Each structure stands twice: as structure tokens, then as C-alpha cells.
Amino acid sequence: MRVLMATPGGRRGKGGMTSLVNYLVDALPARLPGVGVDVVDTYGPGRFWLMPLYFAGGVVQVIAARLGGQVDLLHIHMAHYGSAVRKLLLALVATLLGVRTVMHMHGSDFHVYYRALPRWYRRALVAVLRRCERVVVIGEFWRGFVVEELGLDPRRVVLIHNGVPRPDAPRGPPAAGAAPKLLMLGELGPRKGTPELIAALATPALRARAWTATLAGNGLVEQYRAEVAALGLADRIALPGWQSGPQVRALLAASDLFVLPSRLEGLPVAILEAMAGGVAVIATPVGAIGDAIVDGETGLLVPPGDVAALGAAIGRLIDDAALRARLAANACARFEAMFTIDRTADAVAALYRAIGVA
């Protein structure tokens, strides 16, 4: 039995979707003996002008696999905007060829994207999704959206939370008297709330406290480096750019507080990694973040775009090490109960069995 898993950038891409695909490809073989999983790159190495070539190559790969009897299931990972157009075309081709297809929806902006579409295209989008064997969503917010707004049959909608591996080693105690270290991971830009975070850290109340921060990720790195320098915070806020898996694990192990004040989200892998690593989290109640972060129990939630509330939450956790420790411990327990890659891989394997692939 053969599964093709389609995702932008294949196993070399950047971001949470690629991380999840890599975790799944590594975890599924032990759960599905005799089922092979290959990855189809539908975008390429990141250069936009190469994208049509990679996408066409991905379509050809699926067609060739179907004609050669080398695919039993196409598992498509879809975001929004251009990703949605490409993946819906791929799903249409696959289903017309008789390939069983699962659409796995990750897009943080998908509801915004969908509502802005002309009516004819919305109908076409929903029609393609209805051709799929199952539609996978990553949180309760997204299940409600696809059932209530898109009108998909709830029996064909499957909620599978993102999952991440456990850390390689348990977290050690913080150094006595050390200034708390703040961390943000992800694509730096407005959607992730980077402007709000920098603005909050620049307020007089937070300038007066002892802390250092690392904002790690791709995106508008140079723009924010210049902004941080202009604010006189270059000695306190580091922007190292994109970080690989080992570097991310090292940053999490050295951090006391994880902050992701996103305006729109799916279910961020970075938040789950912080929970797994025993780092207290401040986030916003958007997308499926509320599935993971319960305000006052497993982290703190602030309204998106609210610099004052974000600054107050950061100051509260800088000042209260006991609260940081309690939130981190609760978050780690919730991670173990709901968000390990083992649970995610088990759920994906069960889905494959339910539709007759394994």
C-alpha cells in the first residue's frame, strides 16, 4: 500500500506544516506495517518563479503513480490563498483519476480567504472538498468553520490536533537570579503579532524590567532588526533569522517565557513545542490556540493586537517565577494528554485504516 503526502517544499520547507509532515513521515511506518509514505513537493525551494514547475511536477507525479498502480491514498496538506488553489486543483485531478484523497487543512487565514472569494469559486471549492474521502481539521474552531460555514458532512470531517515530539532531555531549573529569557518562534510579520511584541517590549514598564528576548524565524527579519535598533533595544532583543530543529530545541531549553501574539493562526507547532519543553506561554485566542492554551491554567491569553494587554501579561510572568512554573507544568501535562506526535500519528493511522488504506 502506498500513500503520497503532498506539501509545499516537501521535507525541506519551512514552517509548522513542514515540521508536522516530517514528524508524521517518521512516525507512521511503525504504525502502518507494509504502508509506504512518500512526500510530493508542490512548491519547491521557496523561489516563486520555480513554483509552477514544482507544482506541475507534483501533479505529474500523482498521475504517474496512479497509472502505475503506485498510490492508494493522496494526503494533501493545504494552507490558504495560492496554496489552496494549487491543492484544490491537485485534489480535483486525483479524485477524477479515482485516487482516494484526504485534505488536511492548516491555513491560519483560510476563513478570511474563503469569505473574500466570489460565490462561484466558493461553490467550486466546497465541491472539491466534498469529493475527498475525509477533510482533516486541526482544532475545534476549524471543525466548526468547515461544518457550519462550508456545509461539509460532519461524518467526513476529522479533528486531528497537530503534535510534536517530546524534548530530548528534561528541562533543567532556571539559573538563580538570571534575567528571564523571552522567545518567539515563527515567520516574523504582522500575522504573528511581531509588531505588537516589539511595541510591548519597548514600553517604559517593560524597559524597566530585566529580560532578554529572541525573535527567531524567517520573514521580515531585516525590517525588525532595524526597528529594534532604532528603539535602542538591539542589546536586549536578538533576531537570528530562521532556526533549524536542533537550534529551536536549544532556544526553547534556554527560555523562560514563550510569546506568540498572533492575529490569525491554525494550531502553531511552536506553541506545542514550548508546552512540551516546559516553557510558559503567552498567546492569543485565535484559530485553534484555545484547544491548547487555557487562560490562567496552561498559559495566558491576550486579545490579538492589544499591545497594552500583551505588555501586562509579559510583565506579570517576568515578575512571578512561581506562576511561570505553574503554567509551564500544566501546559506540559496538557501536551502529554493531547499533543504528542505519537497521538497525532495514531490518529492519522486510524484514519487511513478507516478509509481502507491499511
Confidence band of 25 (pLDDT split at 50, 70, 90):
very high
Whether the domain at 2-163+340-354 and the domain at 181-338 fall into the same CATH topology = yes
- DSSP assignment, residue 178? P
Q: 51-87: per-residue pLDDT in tens?
A: 899 999 999 999 999 999 999 999 999 988 888 899 9
- Angle, helix 194-201 to helix 221-230, in steps of 10 degrees: 20
pLDDT over threshold 90, residue 252: yes
**What is the Cα–Cα distance from 199 to 310, expressed in whole angstroms?**
9
Identify which has the larger pLDDT, 171 or 342. Answer: 342
Contact between 4 and 74 under an 8 Å Cβ cutoff? The reply is: yes
Confidence band of 14 (pLDDT split at 50, 70, 90):
confident
Domain limits of the chain? Answer: 2-163+340-354, 181-338
**What is the Cα–Cα distance from 144 to 148, expressed in whole angstroms?**
6
Least confident of 129-138, 152-161, 171-180, 326-335: 171-180
pLDDT over threshold 90, residue 264: yes
H-helix or E-strand containing 30? helix 16-31
Over the chain, what is the mean pLDDT? 94
The answer regarding whether domain 2-163+340-354 maps to CATH 3.60.15.10 reads no
**What is the Cα–Cα distance from 184 to 251, expressed in whole angstroms?**
10
Residue 64 confidence (pLDDT): 96
Confidence band of 355 (pLDDT split at 50, 70, 90):
very high
Contact between 227 and 198 under an 8 Å Cβ cutoff? The reply is: yes
Contact between 90 and 339 under an 8 Å Cβ cutoff? The reply is: no
Pairing verdict, β 101-105 and 2-7: unpaired
CATH for 181-338 (2.40.480.10, 3.40.50.2000, 3.30.70.260, 3.40.50.720): 3.40.50.2000
Question: How far is residue 347 CA from its own chain's centroid?
Answer: 17
- Please give the grid coordinates belonging to residue 77: 496538506
| CA gyration radius, the chain | 21
Least confident of 47-51, 136-140, 270-274: 47-51
Residue 175 confidence (pLDDT): 66
Contact between 5 and 37 under an 8 Å Cβ cutoff? The reply is: yes
